[in-house]
Structures are given as C-alpha cells and as structure tokens.
A = this chain, B = another copy of it.
C-alpha cells in the first residue's frame, strides 16, 4: 500500500492492524495529492472524505477537533512512497485556538505546556502554511529569551509564552492581513494543502533528483491524533532500532529523552540517555517496547527503526520503518535473519547490494585518537585518502610531481582544476553536493572525494582554510579524508585494509563474522545467477587477480596496452614506415612480443575463455602530442621532421571518431594479421605444454558486416595456416550502426560483446573525456540525467539499441554468445538490465567482479 498511503501511512496502518498502540488517525492518499498537483485545487471529493474520516476519528477518540473540555489535537505530516526525511512540511497541534488552549491547560494541568503547544502551532503554521519567513518568529523568541534572562526557550514560563503567542499572532496578521485562523477545520484543510504543495518545494525537488525519486509520485498526508511526550517526567520520547544499525549486531539499540517531544531530540539541545535506561525509568513501558520490537521484527522480517512517545506512562508508537544501516550491518543482518528462518536465501541476497559491497572493499581509516575530526562533508566518492592540503591546481600538480601525496582543497572545482584533481590523492570542497563538478569528476577518476564540507572556510587566494573554531590550516598541513563517511581529519590517520578485500584476494573466509556473511551471500549469488562474470584484464597479473575474485574468463583484453613502454618505439617504426619492407620489419619485431604476452595470459586463464580485442585506438596515441612536439620544434628542441610530419598527418580533430578499430585493421596492411598470428602461435605453444588455451578474437568498432567479413576471412586464414584449431571470432557492438544492423553482423560473428562506453558516447554524442568535466555536473544538477550514463546504463537510449541487437543477433544465430565489456559491466543497476536483456555474461574490471557476481545473483533472485 506504499504507493497509495506513502511509507509512513502504510506502516501506521500496518501497526494498527497488528494491534500495536498507535494513536488513531487517517491517511490522505498520494492519488489525492497527484490530482491536486495536476489541477491546482483539491479534488472535489476530498473535502467530504476528510469530513467523514475526521468524524470517525472524533468518534473513536471521543473528542472533537479543537472543541470541548478535552479537545482533539492532530498532527499533519507528509509521507511519500520513498523516505524524504525533512524535505516536506509537518504541522503539529492542529486544533488549538484561543479557546481550546485554555481547556488543554485545564485538562493537562500544565499551563505552560498548553500555551507552548499553541505557540508552536502558530509558528509552524505561519511558516509552512502561510509562507511567513521563519526568521520573524525566531527573532521574537530570541528577544524573549534575552529579555527574561533565561538560557533557552525551554525555561520560559507560561506567562512569557502567552506573551509570545500574542506577538506571533500579530506577526501573522501583519504578514497576511488576516488573523490566525481560529477554525480548527480550516487549520486542518490549509495544513493538508500546504503538505501537498511542499512536494514541489525547492528542497524536495532537489532531493528527489539526487536520489532518483520520480517527480510524479506525490505525497500522502497523515492526520494523527497528538500524543505528548512533554507532559512531565512520566512522559518522554525516543527512537529504537531492533538491531544495531551500525554493525548489525543483535540487541536493542536506541535513545530516550524524558519529558520531551520529537523536535527536542532533533534540535540536540538536550542530551538523550541510552534506551536501556528506560528500564529503570519506566519498566512497564520498556517491557512493552521490547514486546513490540519483537512483533515488528517478526512482521517486517528486517531491522526496524521505531519512533515512540510515552504520554504519562502510556506507550504510543508514532512511526516505524525498515531502518537504514551501514553496509557491514546489511550483510550481517541478512545472514542473521536467514539463520533465524525469517527469510530465505534469495531474500537475504536481495537485502544486500553491490553498492554496499563496494564500500566494504575499500580500505578505511583506523580510529585514531591522534587525529581530530575537523569537519564532516558529503561522502561523494569512497576511499581513504591522506595528503598535504594544497589550495590550487598548479601547486597540487607540482607537489605531486615532487613525490608528495596531496589533498586538493577548493571551495568548489571547475574544469581549470583538472590537472590538480588528477595529481591529488583526494579532493575536498566546502561547497556542492553529490552532483557537483568535484563529485562527478572524482567518481569518474575513482578518487576519494568529500564535498560540501560547509563548516570549512576555504581561502584559495591566501592558501589556507579556517576551521569553525577559527583555527587556520595552511598549505602543507596533513589531512585525512574519508570518502565513505564524509569525515575530514587533521593529521595522518592510519589506513586499515578491508577484510572483505583480503577475503577476495586470498579466498580464505576465517572467523570474521562480516567476511562470513559476505562469503555466504556471494556463494548463494553464484549458485543462482544466470549471467556469467568475466573480467577486463590486460596483463597476466590482472587476469590472475580476476580469477581469484571469481572471474569465469576474460571478456576483454586490450592489446593496445601491450604496445606501450619499450615497445612504443616499434610502434613508432610501424607508423613511420615508408616502405612495405620497413613496415613488415616493425611487425615482425612485434610478433614475438605479442606472442609472449598471450602465452602469459593463456597460462593465467588456462581452461577459461580469453577474449582478445585487436588493436583499437588511433595510431597517433602512440606518438608524441602535436602541441608538445610543435612547441619543442619551435624552440629547436626537436628536429625530427619525419616524426613531426607523421604526427601532423595522423592528428585528428576527433580521434574518437577517427582511424581506429577495425578501420586500422583494414587500412594498415599486416597489423591485424600479426596479432592473429601471435594469438594462434601462443595458443599452439600453450597447448603443446599441455595447457588448455581458449582464445576468442574480438574485432572492435565494426559498423557494417562487410568490415567483419573481410577481417574475419584474413583471421581464419592465418589461424588455419598456423595449424591451430579454429578460434571463435566476434565483434564489439559499440556503434549505433552495429546495433541497428546486428542481424546482418551476426552472420559473420560467433559472439557479440557490447562496448557500452563507446555506445554511450555515440548514442548521446558526447565523449567521456570531454564532457564529464565540462557539463555533466550541470546536467545532473538540473536533473537532465538521473545518473551519469557512463556509470549506469541509459536504458531508454543505449538500452533500446542493446535490446534491438540482442533480438536481431539471436534471430540470425540462435547460439550467438552475448556479453558486455564496458564500465557498466560492474555497475549494480546496469547488471540487472543486462540480466533482463538476456546477455550471457558481463565483463568488468577485476575489483568489480565480486560486485557483478552479487548483483547478477540478486537479479536472478528477483522474482
């Protein structure tokens, strides 16, 4: 019922159904909200329904809204399908007016309580329903505190508060030209409308964009009879968790604040006591709470997060929901519930996520007394980074070149900071959220980033930052920043490796209960998943690691990485060759090197498929940069005319859209032939040693079947000449045209591997190199993307082409093997898409293998 009643409303209804002590009330549906937002007026039927429900509520409580000796007071709270904490409006104490405040005072025997409740109503109502600047009320409250000489407003007495009520009513009249509404029903109707409107408030809209919550859901409104935790020492309010949300360990956790309301806990002006203390203060309520907690855990079969109030010894449940938890807690709890028999193994798997597993695989800071936490920002890109604070990009790059570890500290970053960001261990900013330039670029680079640490004053001009207490930290001060928690520490914190990462590296489970939980859940994921998981690996070392991490093969080996280092010189000779003989000599020299590379890879992946992509990048990537070389030539530091001519000739306006991939193979005679020969000879050599090589040859950047046919014919010939058994030949599907004509391309392909990086680039027409820095932050901020399409597959655009190609390819060749080897292969959300698209495997970087395994299992375990 969450769609209709929102999360809060549905849970209140659920608790009521379970017979738990929930204050009576009713919920106005999200449907009513949507109708209101569409038309701008309350749906006709709404008024009548509110009347009917209110009458029923009055009947059940035996009270009338704002009327009589014991008047009914209600709270009006928002409650969307997805939790949006603090983003929408709430009004408490609806029903109080100049008359009922007196009967409430009489009934409660607490004059101050009654008038303070009325004061709060006028303030909240004025601000959220009538749109009066909250500062107006705060000013008066502050003045009153100062005038009476007390420390906080909690110490104001009944007379003071009555005076404030008068002043607040004046503010309402001054700003709206009308008196504060005395009619309780009118208060209620206006409050409901205000909650509806708050769905489209600026804060709420920004939050939804950040959390990818759809714009059109609308919020429900919960109208609930008020209960008061601030009616003296036998009242109070608290929160409870059915397990420790930080660690997942079993037990009852929470906080209690006697003689207080919920806002008092939130405002932090008074200190809470541990929940266990409630046993001493009010044993009966405590036992009742434990009983309820057990019921709720059994019912929700999960960690519950509970808000309760005790009003003069009576326990009331105000809210419950499945509680948020840390990644470690998520894994432990899922396994505990499985062992308790509350959930089955598929459900346990669904309870954890690849994003959580990612966080468990990063090193983290050890708790260390020596380093003080000086700020907390938004955890934008995980990891633990230590380095000296530097306040500009050029210095960061210079100090990094000199061998120092650097933390780049900026108010916010812009494209001018790229060099510094590349050089830094981590990035810290005082402004901006998860979609800011710093956050987007850092995630793209895999760098630790804490952003929006607003308590820090960054002064780049003077090269220092100021802490809230006025301490000034200059350039060179060591900082430790935690991209997983958002914490910023002064000094160097020791970094401890991740036990979970050690488990994946070693394969040993040991007796750590978190590692055991991870092991059990990922083992179940492997048992149920349909998607294979392969790795993108270019070296035997990476391949071996990937195998330890559970890779069932290599989905992408980029041979260009074998053309770097000392071999660059050979590639240069190949490019500069002016005769067939020169070119052939360069290729002949490369052949044994490539063969040796492949032999190492076959050894590392013995018995498992190894997909080798023939050379993909433009040749000029192996030559010096045009600008650098031109400057050198102009300064007389280089006189290699032949090289400069070649660099100029091969220079491309848009290398991503230039002479690369299969085009190179068709235009540079002998290049692909040499690579295929190296593969065939390496396989033969490995087989001769008793090994089981399983190469697959992959052709990049095919746009039309004719390209593949030509290259394939040559490859098949070379393999046959080498006396090797046939080697499967397939292609990347990474151009829209390849996807659109996949039915034809499948005629010449044994397999497809979707290159989602390039496909995203061409479908959207932006290159990853260029745009993440320039406009992605703005696009995420404006909600144009729900997420970077380079991180999470764009299902509408790129996904449509993938589905088209899968259908067309399989209809030509039912046994066509289908994989994906872009960055998306290790992205949790995207893995589900690939599962549903019917691919055979995903391939991702070695460190993401466990995440892909887990998510592939979750996709299969999702009914």
Contacts and interface: CB of A to CB of B under 8 A. Distances in A.
Of A734, A761, A767, chain B has the most CB atoms within 10 Å of the CB of A767
Nearest to A625: B627
Contacts of A737: 763-765, 794, 796-798
Interface stretch (A158-166, A252-260, A371-379, A698-706): A698-706
B771 A658 contact: yes
A762 interface: yes
Contacts of A653: 654-656, 767, 769-770
A16 interface: no
Given A663-B775, A774-B659, A801-B736, A784 B654 contact: no
Interface stretch (A96-104, A628-636, A820-828): A628-636
A652 interface: yes
Given A735-B764, A761-B657, A784-B704, A775 B666 contact: yes
Given A656-B653, A763-B762, A764-B703, A666 B779 contact: yes
A657 B654 contact: yes
Interface residues of A, number: 58
A250 interface: no
Contacts of A767: 652-654, 657-658
A771 B659 CA distance: 7
Contacts of A740: 763, 796-797, 800-801
Interface in A449-488: none
Number of chain copies forming the complex: 2
Contacts of A401: none
A654 B773 CA distance: 13
A581 interface: no
Interface in A654-685: 654-659, 663, 666-667
A785 B667 CA distance: 14
Contacts of A763: 735-737, 740, 762
Contacts of A666: 775, 778-779, 782, 784
B706 A784 contact: yes
A544 interface: no
A763 B663 CA distance: 15
Interface in A605-655: 626-627, 630-631, 634-635, 645, 649, 652-655
A150 interface: no
Contact of A667 (B627, B770, B774, B783): B774
A765 B762 CA distance: 6
Given A655-B770, A710-B784, A740-B801, 13 more contacts: A627-B630, A652-B767, A654-B655, A654-B767, A659-B774, A663-B771, A663-B775, A666-B778, A704-B784, A736-B797, A737-B763, A737-B796, A740-B796
9 contacts: A654-B767, A656-B657, A657-B765, A663-B771, A666-B775, A666-B782, A737-B798, A762-B763, A762-B765
